[in-house]
Amino acid sequence: MSIHNEIRRVTTHRLSEMKLRGEKISMLTAYDYSMAQLVDEAGIDVILVGDSASNVMAGHTTTLPITLNEMIYHGASVVRAVNRALVVVDLPFGTYQGNSREALHSAIRIMKETAADAVKLEGGEEVLESVKRILSAGIPVMGHLGLMPQSIHKFGTYTVRAKEEAEAEKLLKDSLLLEDAGCFGIVLEKIPASLGEKVAQELKIPVIGIGAGGGVDGQVLVLHDVLGITQQFSPRFLRRYHNLAAEIKGAVGNYINDVKSRDFPNEKEQY
Ligand code: KIV
């Protein structure tokens, strides 16, 4: 039996079992083969091929420009590396809103061309028809509410969402609609901790937070923020576990010095 068969893969069903037993779910982004391999080997439960690749990988200021083809490239690279984690790929802006046929077509392309396990999309009631149509093809869907970066031009700011009662009520209602439609989980971004906890208590499906407090069923962060590769982004909810930017610059600086001083390559490093 190969090592691949011995590993028990994370499934959407396993995530609901984790919620039932009160075991927190760990989720991180990854966008490429090498990082995804390390994150998977470290034992993460869910890898999100987020459209934050638009910022982190491509240097755009928002998530809007990334295309379906680019998300498929990132998704397929990640899937090739992963043996255990559940892999979720974001549907990018403009590929599912307002047209459920196109939503289904986009989701099918992601599933066929990346071999990922599920897709994620932003929004509640306004994208429900798309959610249902994707689910009808047997494709697992994860919702995303609260701060929705694809709608940045509607709100104009990345500030905390659903602080007012009306917005909090809509968020709870949207969460229930997504659960009833058949989503296997929901990401809640940048909302008050008390609301995150309330939604997690009301829903049977796992609720994963990013800046949604400790009362939800799991946490997700952007890998490059966690490792300290990105430096400008410092929201309150972020915990950095390393300062890789300094380490990488130090290592590259040492290499440059060794090349300039003719120390590299030495006799053992040539043929
Ligand atoms: O694209 C992304 O990285 C995300 C997370 C912030 C949840 O959607």
Give the atom of ligand 1 at the shortest distance from the alpha carbon of 122. 8
pLDDT digits (tens, 9 = 90+) for 104-116: 999 999 999 999 9
pLDDT of 4 reads 53
Whether residue 236 sits in one domain with residue 164? yes
Whether residue 157 sits in one domain with residue 106? yes
Catalytic residues: 189
**Residue to mutate (ligand 1; options 189, 226, 229, 230; most atoms within 8 A of CB):** 189
Lining residues, ligand 1, CB within 6 Å: 29, 48, 50-52, 90, 144, 187, 189, 210, 220, 222
pLDDT digits (tens, 9 = 90+) for 134-149: 999 999 999 999 999 9
Whether residue 161 sits in one domain with residue 193? yes
Whether residue 249 sits in one domain with residue 154? no
Whether residue 201 sits in one domain with residue 147? yes
How far away, in angstroms, is 33 Cα from ligand 1 center? 18
- The pair of structure tokens assigned to 17 is 């079992």
Domain of 249 in residue numbering reads as 244-271
How far away, in angstroms, is 137 Cα from ligand 1 center? 24
**Residue to mutate (ligand 1; options 56, 90, 147, 223; most atoms within 8 A of CB):** 90
For ligand 1, atom 2: residue with the closest CA: 50
Whether residue 212 sits in one domain with residue 156? yes
Q: With contact defined as beta carbons under 8 Å apart, do 116 and 49 qualify?
A: yes
pLDDT bin (cut points 50, 70, 90) of residue 1 is very low
Whether residue 146 sits in one domain with residue 42? yes
Residue type, 92: P
For ligand 1, atom 8: residue with the closest CA: 50
pLDDT digits (tens, 9 = 90+) for 123-133: 999 999 999 99
- Counting the structural domains of the chain, the total is 2
Q: How far is it, in rounded angstroms, from Cα 125 to Cα 120?
A: 15
Mean pLDDT (the chain, rounded):
97
Average pLDDT over residues 3-9: 74
Show the 3-state SS of 225-257: HHCCCCCCCCCCCCCCCCCHHHHHHHHHHHHHH
Give the atom of ligand 1 at the shortest distance from the alpha carbon of 52. 1
State the CB neighbour count (10 A cutoff) for residue 26: 18
Residue type, 159: T
Q: Which residues of 87-109 are buried (b: 16+ CB within 10 A; e: fewer)?
A: bbbbbbbbbbbeebebbbbbbeb
Average pLDDT over residues 153-166: 95
CATH number of the domain where residue 50 is located: 3.20.20.60
How far away, in angstroms, is 49 Cα from ligand 1 center? 8
Whether residue 107 sits in one domain with residue 225? yes
Whether residue 171 sits in one domain with residue 58? yes
Whether residue 248 sits in one domain with residue 231? no
pLDDT bin (cut points 50, 70, 90) of residue 6 is confident
What contacts 221, CB < 8 A, 6 or more positions away? 28, 29, 210, 238, 239
Whether residue 8 sits in one domain with residue 124? yes
What are the beta bridge partners of residue 143?
A: 186
Q: How far is it, in rounded angstroms, from Cα 48 to Cα 50?
A: 5
Alpha carbon distances (Å) from 227 to 33, 201, 234, 238:
17, 31, 12, 11
pLDDT digits (tens, 9 = 90+) for 248-263: 999 999 999 999 999 9
How far away, in angstroms, is 3 Cα from ligand 1 center? 31
Whether residue 128 sits in one domain with residue 51? yes
**Residue to mutate (ligand 1; options 28, 51, 190; most atoms within 8 A of CB):** 51
Give the atom of ligand 1 at the shortest distance from the alpha carbon of 50. 1
pLDDT digits (tens, 9 = 90+) for 220-245: 999 999 999 998 889 999 999 999 99
What contacts 186, CB < 8 A, 6 or more positions away? 142, 143, 144, 145, 175, 178, 179, 199, 203, 205, 206, 207, 208
Q: Name the pTM for this structure.
A: 0.96
pLDDT bin (cut points 50, 70, 90) of residue 5 is low
pLDDT of 3 reads 54
**CA 143, 148, 154, 159: dihedral to nearest 10 degrees?**
150
- The pair of structure tokens assigned to 88 is 């979720």
Q: How far is it, in rounded angstroms, from Cα 227 to Cα 206?
A: 25
How far away, in angstroms, is 51 Cα from ligand 1 center? 6
